[in-house]
């Protein structure tokens, strides 16, 4: 495959593939487009907007899913081996961008493209193979129903070590609306990109290539990368290296913002028992990292599988710990690790799985769902519920597979009041009543309630605001965290690196210059962030967004946290924050974007 223009850091083209016909071609990406949207999520949103994908049902064969790389992938910059997966979400109906790491990003970019754009539907379950000899589909019927690790090992055997694979588990094949795409134990987790891939009849994508991008200033880049790696060993990342994100659990519990039993409480009496501090005492732990990372935040615990007695390693992070633990009332670490393992293998987002099961437990306890075995705290119940999500003929499993919003609509009885979701995406482990800047971030998030596209919790955990009574004066700080995230997801760098930078936007400009040779200023990088966020919003508007979607569940807006009555958030208060946010973004008070700010040039060739 031939690469495109003489750009540094980019190939200047993306690979367009129609898996219905097997047709493929490289399509040019002009330098000015790349400068505007940088790469990763920014680039993918640009491609989807250009093709009016916002109006296509994500399960329709005409829908597209984009795997997008960045100018920094393949460079020596620490944590840069990441890729973004972007499509319309089958869970929310809105834009979904999720990121994953490691060798797939490096190998994927080496096929000679800055992004891989996939549309169409295969006639049978297939593997999409992209390598130096071209693009082809290979039958994958023998992989049907296989878990992620089974699929990855079968593909490694079949294709060899030079290939890297992105795979789906049985959940993606079955259209579970919060199915993930996995690579090497890492997941593009949220919003159901695995179901979009599954609906194309694609079990996996295999990539291998030899097209490297050049760097504009290789010597200075290596020097800079050395310094960044050195800084990444410092105290700013010690938490991730030594303890992992799971160490948030006890802090959040102490501050009464640990969502417990479907957000009925903010404090879990069993938190000590499931904390990483306690698990470390009784289980063997190892550490690992993504390719090209000097931080190494992965903390893996050994468990023995209940039936096979096989020992496996399970990655524990705050989000799977909270969602499959306190949120469902589970105080047994073995059960949480087994539940996490099942989600990883079946290819299910742990936050949405935990949120939906917790919601089902509350519905059952309140008599709205005829499954009396579904009880908070029941170890058997959570494991059984996860198994049922991938059972094709199980009525409860089919309900769970749609996520909590769809489930509430099916059950009725106004249960939507306590479905733990925003725009259909289940809320991560930060109780919005006690973290009100984060509440704003959840409400306005383009992909729904999300802790990776807004880092507003950083402001809640500072002296800049009263976290239980946030004011509109703090809005610009919340916006800054969103802007940072937009750049981190487009350049792409790991968010755990964020405290290493003194001036993130200026350093982003510096890194981009070393790789591409472009003289972008700090303010141009800031403008790119605003552009990307506006494009995401415009995708949502085109897909049918209305201002009423930017809200939080009724429970959050009506009930204070029982352990801390000062943690209360009214709908009026939230609306004030949202209005101030919209105006500060330059949108109208309701959040409509004036004019066409997609940056799409109608004359630009497809």
Partner 1 sequence: MKRQKDNPEVTVEFFGIVRARTGIAVKKMRGITLGDIIQQVSDDYPDFARDCADGFQLRTGFAANMNGAAFVTDSSTLLAEGDVVMLMSLDAGG
Q: Which of 252, 301, 442, 518 binds partner 1 (CB under 8 A)?
A: 252
Q: Which stretch binds partner 1 (CB under 8 A): 168-176, 252-260, 360-368, 598-606?
A: 252-260
In whole angstroms, give the CA distance from residue 404 to residue 399. Answer: 9
Which residue is associated with the tokens 């943690």? 567
Q: Which of 13, 70, 79, 92 binds ligand SF4 (CB under 6 A)?
A: 79
Distance in Å, CB of 464 to partner 1, minimum: 8
Question: Residue 334 interacts with ligand SF4 (CB under 6 A)?
Answer: no
Q: Find out whether 133 and 23 touch, Cβ atoms under 8 Å.
A: no
In whole angstroms, give the CA distance from residue 147 to residue 157. Answer: 16
Q: Among residues 89, 167, 162, which one has the least CA distance to residue 128? A: 167
In whole angstroms, give the CA distance from residue 99 to residue 492. Answer: 9
Residue 143's contacts (CB-CB under 8 Å, 6 or more residues apart) are 125, 127, 150, 151, 154, 155, 203, 204
Q: Which stretch binds ligand SF4 (CB under 6 A): 294-302, 312-320, 332-340, 523-531?
A: 294-302
Q: How many CB atoms lie within 10 A of CB 553?
A: 24
In whole angstroms, give the CA distance from residue 315 to residue 75. Answer: 27
Q: Contacts with partner 1: how many residues (CB under 8 A)?
A: 37
In whole angstroms, give the CA distance from residue 432 to residue 574. Answer: 10
Q: Pairing between strand 82-88 and 95-101? A: antiparallel
In whole angstroms, give the CA distance from residue 603 to residue 600. Answer: 9
Residue 231's contacts (CB-CB under 8 Å, 6 or more residues apart) are 500
What are the Cα distances from residue 457, in Å, to 161, 442, 524? 41, 10, 26
Q: Which of 222, 250, 278, 288 binds partner 1 (CB under 8 A)?
A: 250
| Dihedral in degrees, nearest 10, Cα atoms 445, 449, 451, 457 | 80
Question: Per-residue contact track with partner 1, 171 to 210, x per CB under 8 A?
Answer: ----------------------------------------
**Which residues from 264-283 bind partner 1, rule CB under 8 A?**
277
Question: Residue 289 interacts with ligand SF4 (CB under 6 A)?
Answer: yes
Q: Which of 75, 84, 256, 490 binds partner 1 (CB under 8 A)?
A: 256
Question: Residue 193 interacts with ligand SF4 (CB under 6 A)?
Answer: no
Q: Which stretch binds ligand SF4 (CB under 6 A): 39-47, 49-57, 287-295, 480-488?
A: 287-295
Helix axes 379-389, 350-365, angle to 10 degrees: 120
Q: Which of 10, 24, 359, 457 binds partner 1 (CB under 8 A)?
A: 457
Question: Residue 296 interacts with ligand SF4 (CB under 6 A)?
Answer: yes
Nearer to partner 1, 254 or 366 (CB): 254
Distance in Å, CB of 494 to ligand SF4, minimum: 3
Distance in Å, CB of 422 to partner 1, minimum: 18
Question: Per-residue contact track with partner 1, 556 to 575, x per CB under 8 A?
Answer: --------x-x---------
**Which residues from 476-495 bind ligand SF4, rule CB under 6 A?**
494
Nearer to ligand SF4, 174 or 321 (CB): 321
Nearer to partner 1, 473 or 588 (CB): 473
Question: Residue 295 interacts with ligand SF4 (CB under 6 A)?
Answer: yes
Give the footprint of ligand SF4 on this chain (CB under 6 A). Answer: 79, 101, 240, 289-290, 293, 295-298, 494, 496
């Amino acid at each position: 495959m031939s690469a495109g223009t003489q750009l540094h850091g980019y190939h200047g083209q993306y690979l367009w593939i129609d898996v219905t016909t097997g047709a493929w071609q490289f399509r040019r990406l002009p330098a000015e487009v790349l400068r505007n949207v940088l790469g990763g999520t920014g680039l993918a949103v640009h491609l989807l907007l250009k093709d009016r994908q916002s109006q296509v049902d994500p399960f329709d064969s005409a829908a597209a899913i984009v795997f997008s790389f960045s100018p920094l992938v393949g460079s020596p910059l620490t944590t840069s081996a990441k890729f973004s997966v972007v499509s319309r979400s089958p869970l929310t109906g809105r834009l979904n961008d999720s990121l994953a790491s490691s060798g797939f990003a490096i190998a994927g970019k080496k096929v000679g493209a800055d992004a891989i754009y996939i549309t169409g539907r295969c006639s049978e379950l297939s593997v999409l193979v992209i390598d130096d000899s071209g693009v082809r589909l290979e039958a994958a019927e023998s992989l049907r129903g296989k878990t992620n690790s089974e699929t990855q090992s079968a593909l490694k055997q079949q294709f060899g070590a030079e290939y890297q694979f992105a795979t789906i588990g049985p959940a993606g094949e079955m259209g579970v609306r919060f199915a993930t795409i996995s690579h090497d134990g890492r997941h593009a987790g949220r919003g159901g990109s695995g179901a979009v891939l599954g609906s194309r009849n694609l079990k996996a994508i295999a990539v291998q290539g030899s097209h490297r991008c050049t760097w504009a200033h290789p010597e200075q880049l290596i020097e800079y990368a050395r310094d960044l790696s050195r800084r990444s060993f410092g105290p700013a990342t010690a938490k991730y290296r030594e303890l992992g994100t799971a160490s948030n659990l006890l802090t959040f519990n102490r501050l009464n913002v640990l969502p417990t039993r479907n957000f009925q409480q903010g404090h879990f009496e069993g938190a000590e028992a499931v904390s990483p501090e306690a698990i470390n005492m009784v289980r063997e732990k190892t550490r690992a990292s993504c390719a090209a990372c000097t931080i190494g935040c992965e903390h893996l615990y050994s468990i023995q599988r209940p039936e096979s007695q096989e020992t496996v390693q399970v990655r524990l992070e705050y989000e799977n710990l909270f969602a499959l633990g306190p949120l469902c009332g589970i105080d047994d670490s073995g059960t949480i690790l087994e539940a996490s393992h099942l989600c990883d293998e079946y290819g299910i987002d742990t936050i949405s799985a935990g949120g939906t099961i917790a919601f089902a437990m509350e519905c059952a306890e309140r008599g709205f769902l005829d499954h009396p075995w579904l009880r908070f705290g029941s170890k058997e119940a959570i494991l059984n519920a996860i198994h049922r999500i991938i059972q094709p003929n199980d009525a409860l499993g089919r309900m769970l597979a749609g996520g909590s919003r769809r489930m509430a609509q099916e059950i009725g009885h106004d249960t939507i009041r306590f479905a733990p979701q925003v725009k259909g995406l289940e809320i991560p482990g930060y109780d919005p009543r006690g973290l009100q800047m984060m509440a704003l971030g959840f409400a306005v998030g383009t992909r729904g309630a999300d802790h990776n596209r807004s880092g507003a919790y950083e402001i809640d955990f500072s002296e800049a605001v009263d976290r239980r009574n946030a004011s509109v004066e703090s809005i610009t700080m919340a916006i800054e965290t969103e802007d940072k995230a937009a750049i981190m997801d487009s350049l792409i760098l790991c968010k755990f690196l964020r405290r290493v930078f003194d001036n993130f936007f200026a350093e982003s400009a510096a890194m981009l210059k070393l790789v591409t040779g472009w003289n972008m200023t700090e303010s141009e990088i800031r403008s790119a962030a605003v552009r990307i966020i506006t494009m995401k919003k415009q995708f949502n508007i085109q897909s049918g967004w209305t201002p009423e979607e930017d809200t939080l569940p009724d429970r959050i807006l009506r009930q204070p946290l029982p352990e801390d009555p000062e943690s209360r958030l009214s709908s009026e208060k939230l609306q004030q924050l949202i209005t101030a946010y919209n105006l500060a973004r330059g949108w109208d008070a309701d959040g409509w974007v004036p004019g066409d700010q997609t940056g799409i040039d109608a004359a630009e060739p497809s």
